[in-house]
Amino acid sequence: VSRFEDVAMAPPDPILGVSEAFRACTNESKLNLGVGAYRTEDLQPYVLNVVKKAEKLMLEKGENKEYLPIEGLAAFNKATAELLLGADNHSIQSQRVATVQGLSGTGSLRLAAAFINRYCPNSKVLISSPTWGNHKNIFNDAGVPWSEYRYYDPKTVGLDFEGMIADIKAAPSGSFILLHGCAHNPTGIDPTPEQWTKIADVLEEKGHTPFFDVAYQGFASGSLDEDAFSVRLFVERGFEVFVAQSYSKNLGLYSERIGAINVICSSSGVANRVKSQLKRLARPMYSNPPVHGARIVANVVGDPNLFSEWKAEMEEMAGRIKNVRKRLYDNLSQKDKSGKDWSFILRQIGMFSYTGLNTSQSENMTNKWHVYMTKDGRISLAGLSLAKCDYLADAIIDSYH
Ligand code: PMP
248 Cα–ligand 1 center, Å: 7
Which atom of ligand 1 is found nearest the CA of 185?
Answer: 3
H or E element, residue 141: helix 134-141
Report how far residue 109's alpha carbon sits from residue 178's, in angstroms, rounded to the nearest whole number. Answer: 10
* Phi then psi dihedrals of residue 109, to 5 deg: -60, -40
Nearest residue (by CA) to ligand 1, atom 7, is: 215
Using a 6 Å cutoff on CB, does residue 36 contact ligand 1? yes
Using a 6 Å cutoff on CB, does residue 185 contact ligand 1? yes
Task: Look up 369 and say whether it is catalytic.
Answer: no
pTM over 0.90: yes
The active-site residue out of 213, 342, 369, 376 is 213
In contact, 247 and 105? CB cutoff 8 Å: no
Whether residue 13 is predicted with pLDDT greater than 90 in this model: the reply is no
Whether residue 216 is predicted with pLDDT greater than 90 in this model: the reply is yes
Using a 6 Å cutoff on CB, does residue 80 contact ligand 1? no
Which atom of ligand 1 is found nearest the CA of 36?
Answer: 8
Give residue 345's identity as a one-letter amino acid code: I
398 Cα–ligand 1 center, Å: 31
Using a 6 Å cutoff on CB, does residue 310 contact ligand 1? no
Task: Look up 88 and say whether it is catalytic.
Answer: no
What's residue 401's pLDDT? Answer: 84
Q: What percent of the chain has pLDDT over 70?
A: 100
ipTM value, please give it.
Answer: 0.99
Task: Look up 213 and say whether it is catalytic.
Answer: yes
Using a 6 Å cutoff on CB, does residue 213 contact ligand 1? yes
Nearest residue (by CA) to ligand 1, atom 11, is: 105
pLDDT digits (tens, 9 = 90+) for 108-120: 999 999 999 999 9
Using a 6 Å cutoff on CB, does residue 294 contact ligand 1? no
Q: Which residues, 6 or more positions from 272, have their beta carbon under 8 angstroms from its beta carbon? A: 98
Among left, alpha and beta (phi > 0; psi -120 to 50; other), residue 319 is alpha
Least confident of 23-37, 96-110, 243-257, 260-274: 23-37
